[in-house]
Amino acid sequence: MACCDLKGMLTFLVLWIINKEPANGASIAREIEKRKGCKPSPGTIYPVLKDLKEKGLVTVKEKEYHITDKGHKELHAGCSLFKKIFYDVEEICRKCD
């Protein structure tokens, strides 16, 4: 990963959601809406999915996006970095609503 590259959290989130449960684009968008409070437009979600597909991180089976082994590894790596960077965020999160 490039230095100080903290963009791409949406891609990470999408991969995370697919990892939890295979889904189609529309329901992924709905899940993001549930988490974020606003729904990503089609112009946001589909390019992300296309990108993930091209990178071999997800595949389409029966009109649903599934995570691949490679995707699993990538997600794992992302989580590790994430944890390394924000290992102590829980300190304040504990105080949050």
Partner DNA sequence: ACACAACTATCGGTTAACCGATACTTACTT
Partner DNA sequence: AAGTAAGTATCGGTTAACCGATAGTTGTGT
Residues that bind a copy of itself (CB under 8 A): 3-4, 6-10, 13, 16, 19-20, 32, 35-40, 44, 75-76, 79-89, 92-93, 95-97
Comparison of 60 and 76: residue with beta carbon closer to a copy of itself: 76
Residue 24 binds to DNA (criterion: CB under 7 A): yes
- Could you say which of a copy of itself, DNA, none residue 35 binds, taking C-beta under 5 to 8 angstroms by partner kind? a copy of itself
What value does the CA radius of gyration of the chain take, rounded to a whole number of Å?
14
Residue 8 binds to DNA (criterion: CB under 7 A): yes
Distance CA 67, CA 8 (A): 17
Q: Which helix (H) or strand (E) holds 66?
A: strand 64-67
Structure tokens at 18: 């697919």
Query: Taking the complex as a whole, how short is the minimal distance between the CB of residue 28 and DNA, in angstroms?
Result: 8
Angle, CA of 12, 23 and 58, to the nearest 5°: 50
- Could you say which of a copy of itself, DNA, none residue 19 binds, taking C-beta under 5 to 8 angstroms by partner kind? a copy of itself
Residues 93 and 86 sit within 8 Å (Cβ to Cβ): no
